[in-house]
Structure 1
Amino acid sequence: MIKNTINFFGFWLLGLICIGCTEATETRSLINLLLIDSPGDFDEVWVEVNGVEILPAGIRGSEENANWVSIPYQAASNMVLVSALVNDTQLLIGRTEIPAGDISKVRFLLGDVAYLIKDDIRTDMSISTDSEALLELDVDINTQSGLSYDIILDLDLAQSVVANQSGGFDFVPHLRVFVGTGLSEITGTIYPISIAPHVLAISATDTFSTLTADDGGFLLSGLPEDEYEFKIAAPTGYQDTTFTLLTYPDSTLTLDPITITLQESTSP
Structure 2
Amino acid sequence: MKKIILFSVAAIALAFTSCKKDSNKSSSQAHVTVKLTDAPGAYDAVILNIKQVVILSSGGDKTVDVNSGPIDILRFRQGRDTVLAGVDVPAGRLQEVRLVLNNTGNRVVINGISYDLNTPSGQTSGVKLKVQDNLTGGVEYTLLLDFDAAQSIVVTGNGKYNLKPVIRAIPQAVSGALTGSVSPIGSYPKVYAIMGTDTVGTIADVNGKFYFPGLPAGTYRINFVPVSPYAVKSIDGIVVTNGAVKDMGTVTITQ
TM range (shorter): 0.5 to 0.7
State the partner residue of 1:147.
Answer: 139
TM-aligned CA distance change 1:99 to 1:125, over 3 Å: closer
- Name the SS of the counterpart of 2:129 in structure 1: strand
**1:103 CA drift (Å):** 0.9
**1:20 CA drift (Å):** 4.2
State the partner residue of 2:71.
Answer: 80
AA aligned opposite 2:89: I
TM-aligned CA distance change 1:51 to 1:79, over 3 Å: same
State the partner residue of 2:234.
Answer: none
TM-aligned CA distance change 1:135 to 1:43, over 3 Å: farther
How many residue pairs get aligned? The number is 163
**1:141 CA drift (Å):** 2.1
State the partner residue of 1:54.
Answer: 55
Q: Hey, what's the Cα distance between the residues in 1 that align with 2:41 and 2:100? A: 21
TM-aligned CA distance change 1:45 to 1:132, over 3 Å: same
- Give the 4+ runs in structure 1 shifted more than 4 A: 132-135
TM-aligned CA distance change 1:14 to 1:29, over 3 Å: closer
1:110 aligns with 2:101: yes
Q: 1:90 aligns with which of 52, 57, 81?
A: 81
State the partner residue of 2:191.
Answer: none
Q: Hey, what's the Cα distance between the residues in 1 that align with 2:21 and 2:99? A: 25
Aligned counterparts, 1:114-193, within 5 A? 114-132=106-124, 135-177=127-169, 179-180=171-172
1:72-120 alpha-carbon deviations (Å, 9 max, x no partner): 1013xx2110122201111111111122222111111111132111211
State the partner residue of 2:29.
Answer: 28
1:197-233 alpha-carbon deviations (Å, 9 max, x no partner): xxxxxxxxxxxxxxxxxxxxxxxxxxxxxxxxxxxxx
Q: 1:99 aligns with which of 90, 96, 102?
A: 90
1:210-258 alpha-carbon deviations (Å, 9 max, x no partner): xxxxxxxxxxxxxxxxxxxxxxxxxxxxxxxxxxxxxxxx9xxxxxxxx
AA aligned opposite 1:33: V
1:145-173 alpha-carbon deviations (Å, 9 max, x no partner): 21211012222211110010112211112
AA aligned opposite 2:122: D
Structure 1 alignment gaps of length 5 or more: 1-9, 59-66, 183-249, 251-268
How does the TM-score come out when normalised to structure 1? 0.54
Conserved 8 A contact 1:134-1:173: no
* The structure with more radius of gyration: 2
% identical equivalent positions: 20
- Name the SS of the counterpart of 2:96 in structure 1: strand
Conserved 8 A contact 1:33-1:94: yes
Q: Hey, what's the Cα distance between the residues in 1 that align with 2:125 and 2:142? A: 23
State the partner residue of 1:264.
Answer: none
TM-aligned CA distance change 1:17 to 1:89, over 3 Å: same
**1:14 CA drift (Å):** 5.4
Pairwise CA RMSD: 2.7
